[in-house]
Amino acid sequence: MATNSQINPSVFTTTQNSSGQSVFTEMERKAFSNNLVVLYGSDSLPVNITDDADLQYHSKTPIELVPKEGCQVFLFRIQPGGKDAPVTRLHRNLSIDIGVMIAGSVEAVLDSGEVRTLVVGDSLIQRATTHGWRNTSEDTAAAMIIVAVPAKE
């Protein structure tokens, strides 16, 4: 059975060195939970990259699911649960979440009862709606990359 810890893709981050050349740099991943890992975050849009301000923000700031300004990039992993898998807690964030499936499949469940199944390569644009997730696979964990940006009503 594929588990959450087995879905752990590499993340490579670039910056510029003092000579202005593009180089790779180290950046910490921040685990929000076993299911949710923050890969990148900023506190402004457009993102301030002067003197690596965005990388400093990411390394020094406690995890926010949705920053007041800026963006977050997550790896969201969902364990298999079989045909009777429960839906994760229904929740709503005041954000636009752009999700792309990278492993397995998952059901996106809305509070209206509507359900859509996402498979690898599918995307979901989640516009501040109440939703939950369900992985009905017997043995395969699922994963999405999600970019969250704040929204207003």
For range 4-9, the mean pLDDT: 71
Place of tokens 């954000």: 95
pLDDT at 3 over 70: no
Bigger pLDDT: 47 or 26? 47
The Cα–Cα gap between 26 and 24 comes to 7
Sign of CA dihedral 123, 91, 36, 114: negative
pLDDT at 85 over 70: yes
**HSE-up (13 A, CA, CB side) for residue 82:** 1
| Whether the Cβ atoms of residue 91 and residue 130 lie closer than 8 Å to each other | yes
The Cα–Cα gap between 145 and 38 comes to 10
pLDDT band at 87 (very low <50, low <70, confident <90, very high): very high
What is the pLDDT, as a whole number, of residue 51?
Answer: 92
Q: What is the pLDDT of residues 89-143, one digit of tens each?
A: 999 999 999 999 999 999 999 999 999 999 999 999 999 999 999 999 999 999 9
Bigger pLDDT: 36 or 96? 96
Place of tokens 């950046």: 27
Q: At residue 106, what are phi and psi to the nearest 5 degrees?
A: -150, 150
Q: Which two tokens stand for residue 93?
A: 């964030």
Report field, pTM of the whole predicted structure over 0.85? yes
Could you report how far apart the first and last alpha carbons of the chain are, in Å?
A: 42
What is the pLDDT, as a whole number, of residue 2?
Answer: 57
Domains of the chain: 12-150 (2.60.120.10)
Number of C-beta neighbours around residue 121 at 10 A = 8
